[in-house]
């Protein structure tokens, strides 16, 4: 899922996303509740109509902002109170309120309110976050009454095996239609993240979607799919694209580099996106050096196309029973730059 936090995947039209293979988008409860407000979105026809995307949308609950806005919030068992990063106003999220906002937004998949602690948090804080996240999952489940929105539970537990198992084992009896794994990619190493997935996905039902939140690099997606993950969101393709870094079949390319100035080759000959079929590297570099907005637009679109193609190729490799060799080929090819 490309990330459309504020109801837009920055710089891209929905039909452009559709054309490069996007199936589902992510948006965010905290950000949309602050601006323009969930009531406003509801009044203007709901998030699908508002942003003109008729495919599936998943809204995150605000639980990640417990981590990312650590200096601007207070948390207890009742609620998280945020001080708006925009104007300092107060936004209170209770488990029930997080669900109500997501109902007003009208997403297809909605998330329980959770507590995402940083990777270096002491084990007591990790255990406390698991306890609170479990409590809130039950309250969210009790609030959610609509059958046209799938509510996912979120597993926490840091990189601690027994906390992860405990978190998963308490959520599974609540019988959510899908499960997310949160609290990763928050400062731990890739090895620690993979080990945690090894301990966690086996505790979640394999016939339901398993969603790894906020991850990650292309190699992280491949490694995680092979550990049972079905669904991802990450700002990486779009944020890196805006910052002139492209993901290609031969590794990362820094588009501002002088070596691209006279290069008439496509960014990635294996890619069928507009950036690669209509323009050469020299033009893409020129867009960034000149500060033209088409640069970030084209590279965001290219990176999203690259992520989708990687996942699509991986699906084929899995069906053909060659997932392990596919992984080795990817890691070897992406290492080069």
Annotated binding site for Zn(2+): 271, 273, 276, 302
| Alpha-carbon 124 to chain mean position | 27
Close Cβ partners of 301 (under 8 Å, ≥ 6 residues apart): 12, 16, 17, 20, 241, 273, 274, 275
State how far the Cα of 249 lies from the Cα of 28, in Å rounded to an integer.
Answer: 31
Q: Tell which one of 30, 50, 53, 64 touches ligand GUN (CB under 6 A).
A: 64
State how far the Cα of 105 lies from the Cα of 45, in Å rounded to an integer.
Answer: 9
Q: Tell which one of 63, 106, 153, 157 touches ligand GUN (CB under 6 A).
A: 63
State how far the Cα of 155 lies from the Cα of 164, in Å rounded to an integer.
Answer: 7
Stretch that binds ligand GUN, among 58-66, 78-86, 244-252, 324-332 (CB under 6 A): 58-66
Catalytic residue among 233, 264, 268, 324: 233
Q: Tell which one of 107, 116, 253, 255 touches ligand GUN (CB under 6 A).
A: 116
Annotated binding site for substrate: 60-64, 114, 156, 183
How many residues does the structure list for the chain? 337
- DSSP one-letter code for 3: B
**What are 97's two structure tokens?**
């309120």
Residues in binding contact with ligand GUN, number by CB under 6 A? 12
Q: Tell which one of 2, 11, 214, 296 touches ligand GUN (CB under 6 A).
A: 214
**Residue with structure tokens 């945690």?**
196
* 185 neighbors 194 (Cβ within 8 angstroms): no
- Please report which helix (H) or strand (E) contains residue 66, including its range: helix 63-68
Stretch that binds ligand GUN, among 59-67, 224-232, 262-270, 277-285 (CB under 6 A): 59-67
User: Is 147 among the catalytic positions?
Assistant: no
CA angle 93, 168, 165 (to 5 degrees): 125
Q: Which residues here bind Zn ion, judged by CB under 5 A? A: 271, 273, 275-276, 302
- Residues 193-212: x where in contact with ligand GUN by CB under 6 A, - otherwise, as a string: --------------------
Annotated binding site: 60-64, 114, 156, 183, 271, 273, 276, 302
Report the partner that residue 271 touches, choosing among ligand GUN, Zn ion, none (CB closer than 5 to 8 A by kind): Zn ion
User: Is 264 among the catalytic positions?
Assistant: no
Q: Does 61 bind ligand GUN (CB under 6 A)?
A: yes
Binding site for ligand GUN (CB under 6 A): 60-61, 63-64, 111, 114, 116, 154, 182-183, 213-214
């Amino acid at each position: 899922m490309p990330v459309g936090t504020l109801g837009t995947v920055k710089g891209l039209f929905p039909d452009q996303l559709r054309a490069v293979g996007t199936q589902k988008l992510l948006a965010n409860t905290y950000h949309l509740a602050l601006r323009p407000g969930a009531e406003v979105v509801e009044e203007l026809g709901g998030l699908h109509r508002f942003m003109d995307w008729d495919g599936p949308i998943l809204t995150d609950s605000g639980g990640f902002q417990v981590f990312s806005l650590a200096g601007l919030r207070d948390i207890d068992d009742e609620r998280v109170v945020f001080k708006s990063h925009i104007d300092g106003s107060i936004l209170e999220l209770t488990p029930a309120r997080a669900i109500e906002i997501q109902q007003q937004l009208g997403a297809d998949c909605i998330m329980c309110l959770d507590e995402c602690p940083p990777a270096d948090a002491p084990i007591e804080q990790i255990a406390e976050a698991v306890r609170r996240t479990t409590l809130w999952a039950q309250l969210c489940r009790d609030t959610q009454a609509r059958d046209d929105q799938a509510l996912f539970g979120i597993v926490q537990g840091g990189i601690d095996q027994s906390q992860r198992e405990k978190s998963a084992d308490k959520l599974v009896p609540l019988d959510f239609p899908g499960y997310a794994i949160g609290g990763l990619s928050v400062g731990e190493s890739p090895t620690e993240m993979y080990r945690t997935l090894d301990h966690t996905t086996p505790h979640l039902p394999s016939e339901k979607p398993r969603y790894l939140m906020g991850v990650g690099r292309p190699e992280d997606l491949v490694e995680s799919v092979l550990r049972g993950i079905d669904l991802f969101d990450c700002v990486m393709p779009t944020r890196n694209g805006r910052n002139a870094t492209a993901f290609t079949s031969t590794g990362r390319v820094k588009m501002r580099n002088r070596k691209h100035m006279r290069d008439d080759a496509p960014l990635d000959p294996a890619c069928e996106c507009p950036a690669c079929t209509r323009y050469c590297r020299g033009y893409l570099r020129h867009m960034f050096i000149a500060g033209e907005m088409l640069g970030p637009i084209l590279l965001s679109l290219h990176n999203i196309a690259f992520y989708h193609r990687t996942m699509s190729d991986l699906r084929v490799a899995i069906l053909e029973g060659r997932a392990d060799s596919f992984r080795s080929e990817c890691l070897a090819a992406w290492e080069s730059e």
